[in-house]
Amino acid sequence: MQELKEAINIRYASEASCCSSLSCGGAYELAKVKEGEIFLDLGSGRGQDVLKAAKDVGRNGIAYGVDFTKEMVNVAENTRKKLKIENAKFFESEIENLPFSENVFDVIISNCTINHSKDKPKVFSEIYRVLKPKGRVIISDVLAVEKLPEEVVNDPVAWAGCYGGAIPQEEYFEAIAKAGFLNIEILEESTPYKKGDVMVKSLTIKIQK
């Protein structure tokens, strides 16, 4: 776990100050964030979606971002200060242990992050815990077309590259259902594509508490 976290951190520390896209779907746009809402982004990276949300929720709402890479949180926080945005806040934290109490958020998004987690069931149960009843969650992520071979699953570089931790849709949806979510709606699905030597796809889903 530590080796994996280090590989992901090293990759994202170097990505923090560059401008290539790290997303794998249109989670933010599809979340249709509204005035007054309390918003959370899991794996907020350089903070773009949180800062967009801060504008969309307005003065009566608030936007939070969580990321475990210090450099990402620093870049996001510096941008926030430069743009003088008061209703956004970034936390350096793991998405497996969220620093929030129960039933806080109206809307949660995550873009290309949950594939990195070694404990996806815990991530989904944390999402369920902090989401308000009737709250919505929009997730864009990378999924494996078939169960990945052991050598890929054990390769920290593949995990950091957004595919080593990818699991098949059935397993992903089972973890969501176990957390307590009843319906999973598919909003976007790519055709399968190659990452390293394996086939994956990008999926954007909506779930509600």
Ligand X SMILES: C[S@@+](CC[C@H](N)C(=O)[O-])C[C@H]1O[C@@H](n2cnc3c(N)ncnc32)[C@H](O)[C@@H]1O
167 scored as a contact of ligand X (CB under 6 A)? no
143 scored as a contact of ligand X (CB under 6 A)? no
164 scored as a contact of ligand X (CB under 6 A)? no
Residue 132's CB: how many other CB atoms inside 10 A? Answer: 16
116 scored as a contact of ligand X (CB under 6 A)? yes
User: Which is nearer to ligand X, 8 or 36 (by Cβ)?
Assistant: 8
Site string for ligand X, 12-51 (x = CB under 6 A): x---------xx-------------------xxx------
202 scored as a contact of ligand X (CB under 6 A)? no
Q: Torsions phi, psi of 11, nearest 5?
A: -60, -50
User: Which is nearer to ligand X, 95 or 207 (by Cβ)?
Assistant: 95
Q: Which of residues 71-110 bind ligand X (CB under 6 A)?
A: 72, 94-96
Q: How far is the CB of 98 from ligand X (least distance, A)?
A: 9
Q: Torsions phi, psi of 182, nearest 5?
A: -90, -40
Contact residues for ligand X, defined by CB under 6 A: 8, 12, 22-23, 43-45, 67-69, 72, 94-96, 111-113, 116-117, 162
